[in-house]
Amino acid sequence: MVFAVILVSTFLCTGSFAQKSWTLDDCITYAVSNNIQVKRQLLATESQKADYTKSKLNMLPNLNFSSDGNLGFGRSIDPVTNLITFHENMSNSYSLSSSLNLFSGISAINTLEANKYMVRAGLESEKIVINELVINILGAYYQVLYAKGLENSAKAQLSQSEKQLFRIKVNVETGKEAVSKQYEMESRVSEDKLNYTIAANSTSQAVTALKQILELEPGSHFEVQMPSFDTVLITDDQYRPDSVFNVASLVLPRLKEINYELRASEKQIAAAMGGILPKLVVGGSIYTGYYEILGAGATGQESFSTQIRNNNSQSIFARLQVPIFNNYTYARNIKLAKIKKNDTELKLELERNTLYTDIENACLNYDRGKDEYLAALSNFEYNKKSWEVLKKKFEAGLIDVTDYSSASMNLFKAETEAVRTRLQLMIRRIIIRFYSTGDYRSVLNS
């Protein structure tokens, strides 16, 4: 299978980021673990999980303990006799209370369900951010490989020209070649050096762009491993947009996220509608306290422990609240929840249309890329054979430097185009696999 062959031969992970050369798997693994945007999305999901936990605990009774101390001067009430006193006094009270929202229009249950779906949406958002990061890395990695391929081709071209220049110089010294031919060949070498310099600079720029996506520290050593493409096979695989879309619509996190948001919005409507229904709250409390008259003449007062025990009181309550008019608050909440649901439905429809367009273009681009690669490979093989023949004629003095240079340039262009179309085809196939699985790990591990 071509995809497996490509991944095994090209993107095999070495498992260490301190290695000399980075593979695609190394780049992706490092980026997923260290990318700031991914970390921020993880924090956003943790926030949604906290909301979900809070909505679950909201269904339990609350329990609160309170205590206060009071120092009175002048006119005050004696809590023991309920008589007015002018003595300085000190009081201390303790209370334990609890209440339970017994019924609130099932708003708590619907809020719980809405937050549960939002957590699931958050988990899908994490996958979306990671997948987008992987796509960016794929593009940048492809640019590095392409630039390095051009650099290697330009370097090989320069090496051939320098060998020919050395041969011509020897022949000029022995009188077998004219000096003008040496000058022409030196011009050819100079042009090849320029092409090589430009290609090397393009490689440096592509590597820098990939480093920036990986968010590596400035000055850190980074080198991409250049794979061998000799094992790349071209099969007659055909990708139908409808078939790929049917699978993608079920597995891609970009659609699953919005589906969860849509379910959450439905529950949020139900929770908002619960606001217009009666609410019933029940609860109870336990109270006790201590009172002491300060100053001279304060006699016969009970001890702290005795008062705490004797002043104990308990109470239970039930509170029914029937909404009649609340300044459009509940009606507004219901309307906003419905608007959000309608907007989420439109968002889902738009995303489905966009996804289908992306998949259709990806399938068409793959088919076109396969044809381009086959044509470019055939053209490269033809130019390679033609160049080898012209090279022998040039060394035999049957053609001039101009014809040789033209053949060399044609070979260079054909080789670089073969590299470009080969890498392009690989990336396009990986993109389609993304649409078919929804997770980059299944692609890299297949």
Per-residue pLDDT of 276-311, as tens digits, reads: 999 999 999 999 998 888 876 666 778 888 888 888
**Cα(227)–Cα(65) distance, rounded to whole angstroms?**
68
pLDDT tier for residue 231 given thresholds of 50, 70 and 90: low
Per-residue CA distances from 346 to 119, 247, 251, 263, 352 (Å): 21, 21, 20, 14, 10
Q: Is 53 a member of any domain?
A: no
Please name which of 389, 382, 415, 417 lies closest in space to residue 404, comparing C-alpha atoms.
389
Q: Cα dihedral angle (37, 43, 44, 47), rounded to 10 degrees?
A: -170
Residue 99 has pLDDT above 90, yes or no: yes
pLDDT in tens, 142-174: 899 899 989 988 998 899 889 989 988 998 888
Q: Is 86 a member of any domain?
A: no
Q: Is 84 a member of any domain?
A: no
pTM score, whole prediction: 0.80
Q: Specify which of 118-122, 382-386, 435-439 reaches the highest per-range mean pLDDT.
A: 118-122
Q: Is 293 a member of any domain?
A: no
Q: Is 304 a member of any domain?
A: no
pLDDT tier for residue 347 given thresholds of 50, 70 and 90: very high
Q: Cα dihedral angle (407, 408, 414, 415), rounded to 10 degrees?
A: 150
**Cβ proximity of 363 and 404 under 8 Å:** no
Residue 177 has pLDDT above 70, yes or no: yes
In 107-178, where does DSSP find H-type helix? 107-173
Q: Is 77 a member of any domain?
A: no
The pLDDT > 70 percentage for the chain reads: 91
Strands of 345-434 (E only): list them.
none
Specify the range with the lowest mean pLDDT, choosing from 98-102, 105-109, 324-328, 398-402. Answer: 398-402
**Cβ proximity of 284 and 97 under 8 Å:** yes
Q: What is the average pLDDT score of the chain?
A: 87
Number of domains in the chain: 1
Q: Is 85 a member of any domain?
A: no
pLDDT at position 446, please? 53
Tokens of 152: 């290697």
Q: Which residues contact 22 (CB under 8 A, 6 or more apart)?
A: 30, 222, 223, 224, 225
Q: What is the CATH number of the domain that holds 407?
A: 1.20.1600.10
Ramachandran area for residue 115 (φ above 0: left; ψ -120 to 50: alpha; else beta)? alpha
Q: Is 116 a member of any domain?
A: yes
pLDDT at position 46, please? 96
Query: What range does the domain containing 111 cover?
Result: 2-34+106-276+328-444
pLDDT at position 358, please? 94
pLDDT in tens, 388-400: 998 888 888 888 8
